[in-house]
Amino acid sequence: MRGYEHMHNELIRIGPVTIYGYGLMIAIGILIAYKIVVNRTASRQLELSHVSSLTFWSLLGGLIGAKLLFWITQINNIIHDPSLVLNFSEGFVVYGGIIGGIGVGYVYCKKKKINFLKYLDLFVPSLALAQGFGRIGCLLAGCCYGEETDGWFGITFHESELAPNDVKLIPTQILESLLSFSIFFILIYIARRKRPNGLIAGLYLIFYSSGRFIIEFFRGDIIRGQFGALATSQWIALAVILVTCIVFLTKAPKKDHDIRYGQS
C-alpha cells in the first residue's frame, strides 16, 4: 500500500473554523447510523420518541464512558501530571463508550418502563456502522496505529501528529473499520427475521470483542494501556465474551419456553 503523503486530519479551514477528518467521519457515521435506526423503527413497532431520546443520552453516556476509561488506563500518568484530565479533545477508549452508552440506555429504558433488549437490538447494528466510520477518522488523524511492518500490507504517514512518520505501519484502523462494517451487514441480515430479544446485541458483543481482541495484537500505540501480557481492551474483550456467553447459556431455556408459548 502506498504512503499517505497527502493525508491530513485538517481537511478544510474557513477563517477561524477548521473541519477535521476525525470529527467529520464520526459525524457522518452518527448521522447515517441514526437514519438507519429510524428506518428500522417503524417495522418493529417501537416509538420514535424513545429512539431520539436514547440516541442523545447514549451518545452522551458513551462520550463520558470513553473518556473515563481512558483516564483509568492513564491513571499513573495523570498522577504525575493532573493537567492531562483537562484535555477533552483526544484520548478516548471505544469500550468505555460502548459500556457507557449501553449503561445509560439501560437506565433510560428502566425509567420509561420500556423493553431494554428490544431497543438495544435495534441500535447495535448501527453502532457497528458508526464505529466503522469512526475508524476511518482514526486513520485520517493517525491515532490507533499499528506496529511497524516490513510486509506489503502497510501504510506510511509523513505528516501525522500522532502516528510515527516515515515508518511503514500495519493499518489497524482499516482492519477495525472493515471488521465493524462486516458486523453491521451480518447483524442487519440476521435481524431480518424475528429473533429472541437480546440476540442481536449479544452477537454484536461477541463478534466485535473477538475481532478487537485479535486486532489488538497488531496495535502499536502503547498509550491505550497494558496489563500483563495483554492490552486493556483485550482483557475487556475477554470479559465481554465470557459474560455474554454465560448470559446466552443461562437465558436460552427461558427464551425457548417464551417462544413456545408465543411470548417475545
- Which sequence spans correspond to the domains of the chain? 10-260
> For residue 3, is pLDDT > 90?
no
pTM, full prediction: 0.84
Q: What is the mean pLDDT of residues 113-130?
A: 96
Average per-residue pLDDT in the chain?
Answer: 86
Higher pLDDT, 252 or 22: 22
Distance CA 239, CA 236 (A): 5
The cell for 116 is 431494554
CA distance 59 to 92: 13
The predicted model gives 105-127 an average pLDDT of 96
1: number of Cβ within 10 Å: 12
Query: Is residue 73 scored above 80 in pLDDT?
Result: no
| Phi then psi dihedrals of residue 167, to 5 deg | -135, 130
Long-range contacts of 236-241 (CB under 8 A, 24+ apart): 236/95, 236/209, 237/95, 237/209, 237/210, 237/212, 237/213, 238/209, 238/213, 240/95, 240/205, 240/206, 240/209, 241/205, 241/206, 241/209, 241/210, 241/213
CB 62 within 8 A of CB 98: yes
Q: What is the C-alpha separation between 124 and 208, in angstroms, rounded?
A: 11
Range name among 83-87, 168-172, 219-223, 226-230 with the lowest pLDDT average: 83-87
Question: What would the grid cell of residue 152 be?
Answer: 506489503
Q: Confidence band (pLDDT; 50, 70, 90) for 222?
A: low
* pLDDT exceeds cutoff 90 at 83: no
Cell for 35?
A: 437514519
pLDDT at 5 over 70: no
Beta bridge partners of 231: 226
- Looking at the DSSP bridge assignments, the partners of residue 219 are 146
CA proximity to 30, closest of 130, 159, 142, 133: 130
Task: State residue 201's pLDDT score.
Answer: 96
CA 127/CA 211 separation, integer angstroms: 15
* pLDDT band at residue 215 under the 50/70/90 scheme: very high
Q: Are 163 and 145 in contact (CB under 8 A)?
A: yes
Percent of the chain beyond pLDDT 70?
A: 87
Is residue 144 within 8 A of residue 172, CB to CB? The reply is yes
The amino acid at 161? E
What are the cell numbers at 234? 483485550
